[in-house]
Structure 1
Amino acid sequence: MGKPLSGKVSVVTGGSRGLGREMVLALAEAGSEVVIASRKLAACEELAADVRAETGQRALPVACNVGDWAQCEVLVDAAYGEFGTVDVLINNAGMSLLYPSLDQVSEAMFDKVIATNLKGPFRLSALVGARMAAAGSGSIVNISSIEAAHPEPLAVPYAAAKAGLEALTVGLAHTYGPAVRVNTIRCGAFDTDIAKAWPEGLRAELARHTALGRIGVPADIAGAALFLASDASAYVTGATLALDGGFR
């Protein structure tokens, strides 16, 4: 099959663990050089070493809290400073906060969830999308959640942010098209670090609601990410790809 992303440069936020880590490794295996961004630099550095050893691709670790616009600018400057271009941006960083009831969600909690899941992807996409458009090509992939369409009582701010992210996808596709394609992967329940905090029985309950009878594993995201990052999806933009095992 070859390496569909040979010579390309990909930036992945929230890239040091979970779904982000899986996408970083898949992109590198497909021939892309990678920029690995997350809040913890040591974790990014560790994965960057693995990428170099396992794939031979260049990997740049960058500490970045995407909820901070200034840090978004530092990340973009670092990527272009090191590689001279960005061909793929995957806005994967996300977070939700637990709360006992909606009336006890503080302004700081709400702002933090919106900043990480929506404000950061907006700023990064604006900075990188404009440069992609000027260069004549690029792909932006936003990682959303089934919460955007099926909000749970204990994740309402997160669901609202992810719904906004999906709206952002469509707006960006029209803003930066035809040169830049912008798409969403709407993820279902995945067995990542977050799943360790699930209450007993939730894993089985979620699995029962899927046509495939199981929750996702990190490797399940690789094919979808490569499809949207590469020319295999040349006529796909402004779209939302459900990666949820047939959840209902």
Structure 2
Amino acid sequence: MKTVIITGSTRGIGKGLAENFLKQGCKVVITGRSQAQVDEVVTQFAGQFGIQQVSGLACDVSSYDQLQALWDHAVATFSTVDIWINNAGISLPRKPLEQQDPAAIHSIIATNLAGVMLASSVALKGMKTQNHGQIWNMEGFGSNDATQPGMTIYGATKRAVTYLNKSLQKELKGTAVQVNTLSPGIVVTDLLVGDYDTSSAEWLKVKKIFNILGDTVETVTPWLVKGILATDKSGTKVAWLTNGKAFVRFMTAGFNKRDLFSDLG
């Protein structure tokens, strides 16, 4: 089966993807900024799926050298890399641009945009050498031109990733390397909830929408993994929350009472 690298895979969507690739018999390289957290997840999955199926190495995606070391580690451990998923991402508190901490602005751009570019560069070089491979870049709010107050910086990074994908798909035409898009929709994670003051009126309002359109990691990631493994051409988009699904969710919201945030109190 295939070997997969997933950035930001010590928790949330990334960890869910890793678990479901392992369930499908794939070999997975876990990575995150903390080696201790990486080791913890590797130990957990090794106990479930076997130590021969999983490995891990800490990596800051804003560092080209660390990304290259991650690729080299995967090849040394599993001989090849078939799928590289750029999942690592951060967000900022929802407030106007001029109120954001300048250091935080640099940090989100370094992770959400520069990190994806640098990781894609490393993966492209390696995949061209081995003459096969897929890069999957993660969509988020702003990828489809949606805008919202307080989301200026995050949305701009995700809109840029859409351009990056389309441009790389043209650059790689005629090669054995594919660039595709992963769109998980609204998934309940620390990243999502962390943007809000959960005692605020704004949270109460947006929580209603999330309970209609959102889903858990356990629901979304098995479906995404099956879609990725079934893909064999560049330019593919695997999307969980389609327009049709969103329409049905809104139309039936009155009959399906959901509370994805019950553990928040």
TM-score, normalised to structure 1, is 0.85
Report the CA distance between 1:100 and its aligned residue.
Answer: 3.5
| Larger of the two Rg values belongs to structure | 2
Aligned equivalent of 1:234 = 232
Aligned equivalent of 1:186 = 183
Aligned: 1:53 with 2:47: yes
Tell me the distance in 1 between the aligned counterparts of 2:141 and 2:238: 11
1:161-240 correspondence runs (5 A)? 161-177=157-173, 178-197=175-194, 198=196, 199=198, 200-201=203-204, 202-207=206-211, 213-219=212-218, 220-228=220-228, 230=229, 232-235=230-233, 237-240=234-237
* Percentage of matched positions with identical amino acids: 27
Contact kept in structure 1, 2:179 and 2:235, CA below 8 Å: yes
Aligned equivalent of 1:69 = 64
Aligned equivalent of 2:119 = 124
Tell me the distance in 1 between the aligned counterparts of 2:140 and 2:193: 18
Q: Does 192-201 or 176-185 show the bigger shift?
A: 192-201
1:7-156 correspondence runs (5 A)? 8-56=2-50, 57-98=52-93, 100-149=95-144, 150-156=146-152
Runs of 4+ in 1 over 6 A off after TM superposition: none
Aligned equivalent of 2:261 = none
User: In angstroms, what is the RMSD of aligned CA positions?
Assistant: 2.0
Contact kept in structure 1, 2:28 and 2:55, CA below 8 Å: yes
Contact kept in structure 1, 2:186 and 2:213, CA below 8 Å: no
Tell me the distance in 1 between the aligned counterparts of 2:189 and 2:27: 24
Contact kept in structure 2, 1:221 and 1:243, CA below 8 Å: no
Contact kept in structure 1, 2:213 and 2:246, CA below 8 Å: no
Aligned: 1:243 with 2:240: yes
Q: Does 86-95 or 113-122 show the bigger shift?
A: 113-122
More strand by share: 1
Unpaired segments ≥5 residues, structure 1: 1-5, 208-212
Aligned: 1:159 with 2:159: no
Partner secondary structure for residue 63 of structure 1: coil
TM-score, normalised to structure 2, is 0.80
Deviations 1:174-200 (A, max 9, x none): 333431121111232211123443434
State how many pairs are aligned. Answer: 234
